[in-house]
Amino acid sequence: MEMGYFESMTTEARNLDDLESAVLDLPGNDRSRIAKRILTSLEDDAGTEVSEAWKAEIGRRVEAMNDGSPGVGHEAATERARAAVAEVRDRKAS
């Protein structure tokens, strides 16, 4: 008999709970090693997303340049960059 979607999800959740419990029962150095590997895999995924976002942005910029769009002036770009840096500093200070 084939398992339905919801039954499968319940089984997966149980398996995930079992896995989580097993990992949490490990000694600290083993948990740390697993955590580092998981975080690295997430960073790799994020890097791919960022890379795709940059490719899209580069495409938009090239298209705008080819269309003769004026783009952003030096002063406006500098002000945007300063505002972004100030925002990050404010968040870190909070």
Q: For residues 22 and 39, what is the distance between their CA atoms, to the nearest angstrom?
A: 18
More confident residue, 77 or 1: 77
Assess whether pLDDT exceeds 60 at residue 3.
no
**Distance, CA of 68 to CA of 28 (rounded, Å):** 59
Q: Tell me the DSSP string of 6-40.
A: HHHHHHHHHHHHHHHHHHHTS-HHHHHHHHHHHHH
14-62, pLDDT tens digit by residue? 788 889 999 999 998 899 889 988 888 887 776 677 778 888 888 888 8
What are the percentages of helix, strand and coil residues in the chain, rounded to 5?
Answer: 85, 0, 15
* pLDDT beyond 80 at 1: no
Please report, as a single letter, which amino acid is at residue 58: I
